[in-house]
Structure 1
């Protein structure tokens, strides 16, 4: 009797030891492969997917080891599996939303809906993805830096944003096309010039944040630095004129696209460009047209 117990315990410990050694070896090999494959910095989505698959395999191995040890120690595994099936069905019904989150989380990873650092829109909120797991996605709002948690089962309502800003500029019909395009060219030139100057100011003063402090400018740039630094011109990476997009009832519509330094800075870049445009329009005495109603009285 005692020999039988010792024999079962020995077999159980041997199985645990073998599985533990294999587990450690495979884990180290997988980690080394992932690091070598991606140059020392694994891609977040690929890393997450591999982590999920790894967790599923580990769970299956643990379950198999437990059932094997129970079988060795005389437990009726067949009845146990049947009981677990019934319990699993009940738990599955009770945790439908949880399971939906898990399934959609895997779906996100496999199809690459978005990655950490992407700008996405969820309902009326826009933010940068700061963390992701199989159940939830967390984004940092571009408006107030609030952290918003989204259940993955709602993934179909999420839109990935490019960050580019399209601005429609209305110009009066009385203004020649050449003059309108000259004004737009001045806006773009001034935006690029001030963005580059602002970048140089940040480099010379050692600023690394998104919002520079104008009072900390060096003597070298006090008189030559961008006058638009405080309104976020440093967030503009590029500005392009796309041409005429329509002839409306009271104005001609011109289209401009702004590319921000980072997608989440697109609102700051838009505000900065509009402020620069306002100065150019004032200097050239160009009034933005607005809809008017003519009333004829007999």
Structure 2
């Protein structure tokens, strides 16, 4: 509380000082000490009114440039959103174009505003060349990020909406820019990764992901009958689980376990749906087994007593 009070006091004093420096010559009587102090001394550095009076044209032109570029950037953004509305790859390219429009409008605006304030075009071009040279030496990582982002997009390594794994972080791509990529994991945590740091990324959304159900039956069960029950209900399972894109298929005996015979049912779904599809597949198989009186055994141990 004490720190906040001190901050407000200093802020108030600063505002009073600016008002005195800028408007003192209009408030105090001409010829008074405060009038002379505000006009001839402090007013030289904080003459806000005089500044606006003497620079009306550049200020108006600056405001016009800002408003014009904002409107143009906004219209381009709307157009990009409409054109790239459908498809993951279209949205990825749309995000990239929006980043280019944003940064490009800022750079163009800086040049136009400096030109409005009397900076000559040769000076601007020379400054741009020096700036580009400084970036090439001092901001190599920035250039690497931009080039890496362009290669990722045009080589279709992944797009917005894909599930990828970079190092130890696995998540869905929620945004791709010219410099960084944002991933969101199942917990909602967002990691921002520089494009140049994305190496050996695993794209799990490139194809449909497997959905596997391994179900056990006892050794005493009629294997042929159980297989007939599974095969006859595959279409029912597919209708009951809309997340399944391919299958399901019965793959046969997966393993001869210690206490049971393990059968495998296989399907495919989108990467984002595979866990829910697996839960629903397990549920449907359990219901089908219950309806057909097929027992799913639990772990058993036979103990033989020596006489």
Q: CA deviation at 1:255?
A: 5.1
RMSD over aligned CA atoms reads 4.9
What is the match of residue 91 of structure 2? 44
Report whether the alignment pairs 1:155 with 2:198: yes
Give the match's secondary structure for 1:129: strand
What is the match of residue 84 of structure 1? 131
For residues 225-283 of structure 1, give each alpha carbon's deviation from its aligned partner in whole angstroms, at most 9, with x where no partner exists.
xxxxxxxxxx84567233548998988975510436xx423123213423543565674
Distance 1:194 1:130, change over 3 A: same
- Aligned pair partner of 1:271 in 274, 279, 301: 279
Q: Supply the distance in 2 between the matched residues of 1:114 and 1:189 (Cα, whole angstroms).
A: 33
Q: How does 1:80-159 map to 2 (within 5 A)?
A: 80=127, 83-93=130-140, 96=141, 98-142=142-186, 144-156=187-199, 157-159=201-203
Structure label with greater radius of gyration = 2
Contact 1:49–1:110 (Cα < 8 Å) also in 2: no
Q: How does 1:1-298 map to 2 (within 5 A)?
A: 16=62, 19=65, 23=69, 26-27=72-73, 29-31=75-77, 33-34=79-80, 37=83, 44-62=91-109, 64-65=111-112, 68=115, 72=119, 76=123, 80=127, 83-93=130-140, 96=141, 98-142=142-186, 144-156=187-199, 157-161=201-205, 162=207, 164-167=209-212, 169=214, 179-185=225-231, 188=234, 191=237, 236-237=243-244, 240-242=247-249, 244=251, 256-259=266-269, 263-277=271-285, 283-285=293-295
Query: Paired residues, what number?
Result: 236
Give TM-score scaled by structure 2 length: 0.53
What is the match of residue 221 of structure 1? none
Which runs of 5 or more structure 1 residues have no equivalent in the other structure?
1-8, 196-234, 289-298
Distance 1:160 1:11, change over 3 A: farther
Contact 1:70–1:77 (Cα < 8 Å) also in 2: no
What is the match of residue 22 of structure 2? none
Distance 1:102 1:168, change over 3 A: same
Give the match's secondary structure for 1:130: strand
For residues 53-74 of structure 1, give each alpha carbon's deviation from its aligned partner in whole angstroms, at most 9, with x where no partner exists.
3134324423543664687559
For residues 167-192 of structure 1, give each alpha carbon's deviation from its aligned partner in whole angstroms, at most 9, with x where no partner exists.
27588999888535324236646645
Higher relative contact order (CA 8 A, sep 6+): 1
Which runs of 5 or more structure 2 residues have no equivalent in the other structure?
1-54, 299-307
Q: Supply the distance in 1 between the matched residues of 2:139 and 2:161 (Cα, whole angstroms).
A: 33
Q: CA deviation at 1:123?
A: 3.7
